[in-house]
Structure formats: C-alpha cells, structure tokens
A and B are shown apart, each in its own frame.
Chain A
C-alpha cells in the first residue's frame, strides 16, 4: 500500500496510515507488524544508514519465556520464573500487569521474530549461563537488524534515514503530524493516522544527563550511537504524555576508560571484577567485588563507578588470572610491582600498596570456583570480598581503568497493555503508541536482566504496530 497522498521526495506533505519514529528493533517490529496488519508505513530513522537501529546494533540476545527446551535453548524458562527474575532485579519497581503481559507475549516472539527473517543461535562462548534463558541472534544485533530491514522493505515499508524529526503536532492527545528536517529536501510535514514512537532513550544527550547527574555526566561513556538524544521522548513529555521512571535509572556497566566517548559497544566491557579488587582514584576499595555471579553482577558496576570521585575506578589483579576471562580489546596496564602499577595508573603508590597488602592479609583460604558462590572470602576488611577472594601477589600486577558506560536510560512515556501512551491526565491517547527503550521504564524501574531491552522492544513493538494499524483501519 502506498501513502494515501503523495509523496516523499517532493517536499510536500505526505500521509501514511502509520508513522514509526525510530529505527531499532522496536521500531522495525512495529513497522512490520503494522504493515502486516494492512497499513501503509513510514519509518523515520534519525541516524545515517550505517548507524541505523540505535542500541539494537550492539545487542546480541533476547530473553523470552518458553515452556520447553528448543534447538538453541537448553531448558524451559517459564513465565513465572521470568517474572520472579524481573521482580528481583527491579526490586519490585515494575508494573506487574504490563510486565506479565510482556512475559506472556514474549513466548510467541521466539517464533514471530524468526518469521521476520531473524536467525537464532545457541549462546555465545563465554555466556553459557544464559544458555537456558536467552536466545542469541546469529551474527549479533546488526545481523538481526539487517534481517528486519530486509523484511520491512520487502513488505513495502518506506524507510528514510538521516530523518530528523524537529517537532510533533499533538492536539488533545491525538497525533496529527511530524515536522521533519531532511538533509536534502529541507523541512517538511508528515501526517499519519497513528504514531509509533520507538526512538530510544536519551543516554547520548549529555546535557540532559547532567540535569540529574551534574558534572559527573561528563565522565560517562555512552555505549551506543551519538544519535540516542531523546528528542522524541522530550517532545512527547512536553506535549502532555505521562512520564514514567526515575530519570537517573539506566543500564550502566563498567567499561574500559580508554573506550571512545560513543559507540564502543560490547567490546569495551570488563568482566574481570570478580578476579581481583576494584579501587577508586584514592586507591581505596569501595564495594564487595565478590557479591554475585555474572551476569547478575555485571549491570551494577556502572552505577558503582559513577558514584566514585571523578567517575573512575581500576580493576586490579595479577598475572595468575589473565586467562580466566575473555580477551579484552584494550590490554591491561602492567607493573612489576604494585607501586610501579600505581605510578602508571597515576595512583598514590603507597596507598595502593597498603590496600593490596591489607586485602591479601584478609584473604582466607578456600576452594576457588568462579562458577558458583565459592568459599574464598576475606575477613576483617571493609568492604569484604565475600566470594572468589584470592591474594594478589604474582607479578606482573595488572589493571584495567574503568568508567561508567551508559547503555540506555529508563525515563519514558507511560503506556498500557496496547502499548498506547497515557496522557498526563491518565487517559489513553487516541492514536499514539510507544515501544522499546522509550517506554522501558514501565517495566524496568531499576536494575536489569540480560536481554530484557530486546524483549521490551520486540514485544511492545509488535503490539504497537498491530494496534496502530488497527486504529488506522477504523
């Protein structure tokens, strides 16, 4: 189906049944689902083609409930178990009705997404603990995205890149039109019967982050593209859509301090915390490095480092453990003595020596096993290291400098089970839907479990597209 009035290239206004703003997993699932529901669909992706898809480019798996093992999943993961995991990681800060609805719908996504051309594979090397719960995309998130785009284009969805939406025309909770700035044809207006906002969070908007984090946000590294600026989210909130989520909550992990400011993706992460100690710029430990097993511990270290002075920390370990974790993009910084290492890290050598000496003295002997909560722990220091504590005593001494790496923010638009946005007065919008990170805060009040972002994107994307098409038909 073509747009009901003309046309894309002439700068005139055009009208589609469904306008999807955004270009990632949620946006494409919405576009495909709306198109399959009989609607004409335009996708406006603000990024250039290479950077299309926001954070989806950097993802690798999705968490879906399933009642039995599959070809690629090693065992069942029931709706109840998924719900309990979500309840635990969010500390109860979730919307149970919405979350349970999402979990139920996630079961069917495992098949639906394959019908859209995406291929699964068993969990990747080094991620065996996710083999039962999470389905991995063959070739990673960009391969997944490529498949969705090919399917969308084959179905007749129109896609524009470098399409910066500068304003939304919204009256009485009804979307009327989007103003668009094209790199070549200039300003134009796109009208549509329904809107799906799937344009992500605001993590790449450092000024906005500063409103909540202060100057500390200058030291954050952004794991995804610089295009996730939250401009659509801001417009929606400014025009009367109800806000959901804590603006300081986000998915943040400790990543290498040498990573680029934007788009370093997965390869800058560090998962060596458990094999050593973590100190701040004063060479002091500040948190139990042995609290929990991967991946549960993975998503807490970003916030922990963000709370340290200058938002920097150093994972310190010795040469006995270098092959215990995945190879890293950036090599560890090495010193033959703790003092030499400290000098290279520009830390106070005496302070670091003291911290390491005290830690070593506190280590009790035990049987090391990094796959379980083992009995290697410290006694008599604060904070303790409650598992996997072993002496750091075999040179060369090694370190990774780490900073907070922000994946995505949780502040968003409130939605109901139809993925329909709710207005500030609590009434559902007539024709506006949201999916993906822009509404993740409905489900994720805080915390994270691996693969949840993609579940939120695919499930609510599919629902939003279906409902938007339904509205357009009526």
Chain B
C-alpha cells in the first residue's frame, strides 16, 4: 500500500490498465506503465506527471464509470499530480501552500501589488504616483532600475533554487534512471515533446474536455499561453541587455524588439489564459480534479493579470495612469515569480522532467 489514498487508487488503476493495454497508442503514460509490473510511489508520481489530461483514455475506456471497475485515469492522475507538487515542494515547510493554493496566490498577489503602490507613493520624484512621465528612464523615476533589477533578480533566483530542489526530490523519487544520467538526446526529445504538447492530442484525433467529442482547443490555448509567457520573458531579457550593454533605457518605442516581443507575448497570455479558463469552466466534472480548482484558476489569473497589466501599461504609458499601472504590473510579476515554486507553474517543470525520463526509458528499451 502507498502513503496516500490517491496513490492506492492510482496503483489499482495501473494494475487494471496494465492487464488491458488498449490505450497504449494514446500517449506516453501507458507505454511507461507497461515497462513496470509493480508501482512505487515514485513510479505513480512519474506517471501522474506524464499525463497531459487529454481525456482520451477516459472516453475510450470500456471500464470507466458507471462500470464497476470504475476506471478514471485522467481524474485520478490529476489528483495524484496535484498532491505530488506538495510532496516535492522545497522547503517542505511551505508545502502547505498547495493546500489552499488559490487563496495563497490571491493574498500574495494582492499584498505584492499593494506593496508596489505603497512603495511608489513613498519613494518617487516630485510628480507623485499620478505624474506624467515620458522618455527614456521614465519608469525608473518611480523605481530606480538597479532596485528593480535587484528585487526581481533575487525573487527569480529564489524561485529557481526552490524549483531545482523540488525537481531533485522528484527525480530521486521516481527511481534511478535505467542507464545512468539524463542524456542530451533524451533532454532534446523532451524539449520537443513539451514544446509541441505531443501528448495533448488524444492519440491523434484531438482532446476531450466537455463531452465525448474530440473538440477540445486546450492545446491551442496552452500554446498561446506558454509561448506568450516565453515572449514576455524574452522581452524582459532583451530589455535588460539593452539597459546594461547598450545603455538604452526603457520605455522603448512601439517598434523596438522588447515592446514587440512583450506585446505579442502579452496578447498570447491574455487570449491563451482566457481560453484555458473557459475550458476549465466547461470541463466535464468526471474529468476534473475539483480540489485543484483554486490552484489552476489562481495560476491562470496570475498569467492573465500579468499580460493584461503589461498591455495596459504599454497603451497608457504616456498618461497619468502609468505610475499605478507600473506598480500593478510589477506587483503581479513579482507575485508570479515568488509563487512559481508553490503553484500551478510547477506542472510544466515536473511534466518536462517526466518527459525526459520517458524519453530515456524509450531509448533504453529500443
């Protein structure tokens, strides 16, 4: 028996599925399952994070409810996956953040935005929070660039440290790699699989969300969100290089690279996260892990808030609204950074690591 009820249930289902195997062509979970005859906690957490929740195995299963075997792999693995985030959280003292994640994220976001507004009120040049500022260095009259870089750099580094420590625990728990370390080929394969969401496709026909028809568009919305996020990150990175290498200070004109990247990314974040939110609202309750609702929606809301305040800031940066919007945008981004290791953001990290392990197992088995 396992440590938790959900892992016991996941074990029961994998035993059922391993004696059936009809779904082995649908995704990575079932081929990975077939390489095992018994399942440790780590194995089940690995399989749970390998699952992309496309829903196909539920719709295709002859033993899904109301059948007495009650096989519901997507939901069971969704619950196990959410619990695994708390299991591997670093430091463990903060794992409780996953229990009421929506509330935690909301409070931190609110506090963070409030702190930036208060900070801007307390520390700025004579024009006040609502002063109109334009031209190079306009933002830094509200908050000096070095202070901004130091604060966000520290938050980002902490997030990275916490994520690395969490992933280390996960990687150890899913057992020793079959043939040693993660090799470059497996990592490259996992980057491709994650980048194209290879396993969010229902085995080729499409994914299921609200009913038994493969009409789901989550893959598209996830691409918009994920690549939107990357573009925003790229925008910030380019701007940082401009600042330190070229001595060019933000704000930049609309046609300049950081603004173009940030605008496209922001639109992606807004459209993608709204699409994902609508899909979440419509999801068949049979497939939904209700307990993770707060975490899922909290993360979507943070991405939406980041994209939305960023775009608004771009549009209104030459008006009196620039000060408050900058405070809100920075507050949202700061909250996003420091909650990264303690929210839905980690799904991408664990899933990527699971894909690396899967690629590795496939290469070894081949």
Residues of B within 8 A of A137 (CB): 22
Interface residues of A in 129-159 (CB under 8 A from B): 136-143, 146-147, 150
B63 at the interface (CB under 8 A from A): yes
On whether the beta carbons of B60 and A143 are closer than 8 Å, the reply is yes
**Least CB distance, B9 to chain A, in whole angstroms:** 15
Query: Given A139-B56, A260-B68, A119 and B205 touching (CB < 8 A)?
Result: yes
Classify chain B's interface size.
20 to 34
Interface residues of A in 97-133 (CB under 8 A from B): 119, 121-122, 124-126
Residues of B within 8 A of A126 (CB): 21
On whether the beta carbons of A140 and B60 are closer than 8 Å, the reply is yes
On whether the beta carbons of B15 and A60 are closer than 8 Å, the reply is no
On whether the beta carbons of B19 and A138 are closer than 8 Å, the reply is no
Residues of B within 8 A of A125 (CB): 21, 24, 31, 34
A121, A122, A141, A323 interface centre (most CB from chain B within 10 Å): A121
A302-335 vs B, Cβ < 8 Å mask (1 yes, 0 no)? 0000000000000000000001001111000000
The closest CB in chain A to the CB of B212 belongs to A146
Residue count of chain A within 8 Å CB distance of chain B: 31
On whether the beta carbons of A146 and B22 are closer than 8 Å, the reply is no
On whether the beta carbons of B19 and A267 are closer than 8 Å, the reply is yes
Residues of B within 8 A of A150 (CB): 213
CA distance A57 to B21 in the complex (A): 14
Interface residues of B in 204-248 (CB under 8 A from A): 204-205, 212-213
On whether the beta carbons of B203 and A124 are closer than 8 Å, the reply is no
A46 at the interface (CB under 8 A from B): no
CA distance A126 to B21 in the complex (A): 9
CA distance A125 to B365 in the complex (A): 13
Query: Given A263-B67, A327-B15, A329-B16, A139 and B23 touching (CB < 8 A)?
Result: yes
The closest CB in chain B to the CB of A270 belongs to B19
CA distance A136 to B204 in the complex (A): 15
The closest CB in chain A to the CB of B208 belongs to A146
B177 at the interface (CB under 8 A from A): no
**Least CB distance, B251 to chain A, in whole angstroms:** 52
CA distance A141 to B31 in the complex (A): 18
CA distance A177 to B205 in the complex (A): 38
Instruction: Tally A-B pairs: CB < 8 A.
Output: 82
On whether the beta carbons of A323 and B62 are closer than 8 Å, the reply is no
A265 at the interface (CB under 8 A from B): yes
CA distance A137 to B26 in the complex (A): 11
CA distance A94 to B365 in the complex (A): 43
CA distance A142 to B71 in the complex (A): 14
B1 at the interface (CB under 8 A from A): no
CA distance A121 to B16 in the complex (A): 21
Residues of B within 8 A of A119 (CB): 203-205
Residues of A within 8 A of B63 (CB): 265, 267
On whether the beta carbons of A142 and B15 are closer than 8 Å, the reply is no
**Least CB distance, B163 to chain A, in whole angstroms:** 35
A377 at the interface (CB under 8 A from B): no
CA distance A219 to B44 in the complex (A): 37
Residues of A within 8 A of B18 (CB): 326-327
**Least CB distance, B165 to chain A, in whole angstroms:** 35
A462 at the interface (CB under 8 A from B): no
CA distance A445 to B57 in the complex (A): 36
**Least CB distance, B346 to chain A, in whole angstroms:** 30
Residues of A within 8 A of B23 (CB): 139-140
Query: Given A138-B25, A141-B22, A146 and B59 touching (CB < 8 A)?
Result: yes
B61 at the interface (CB under 8 A from A): yes
- Given A141-B22, A150-B213, A266-B22, 8 extra CB contacts under 8 A: A121-B25, A124-B25, A125-B31, A136-B25, A138-B204, A139-B56, A146-B212, A265-B62
The 9 closest A-B pairs by CB, nearest first: A140-B22, A139-B60, A143-B60, A121-B25, A267-B19, A57-B62, A329-B19, A327-B18, A138-B25
17 of the cross-chain contacts (CB-CB < 8 Å) are A119-B203, A119-B205, A124-B22, A125-B21, A139-B25, A139-B57, A140-B62, A142-B60, A142-B62, A143-B56, A147-B205, A266-B19, A266-B22, A326-B18, A326-B19, A327-B37, A329-B19
The chain B residues found within 8 Å of chain A, CB to CB, are 15-16, 18-26, 31, 34, 37, 56-57, 59-63, 66-69, 203-205, 212-213
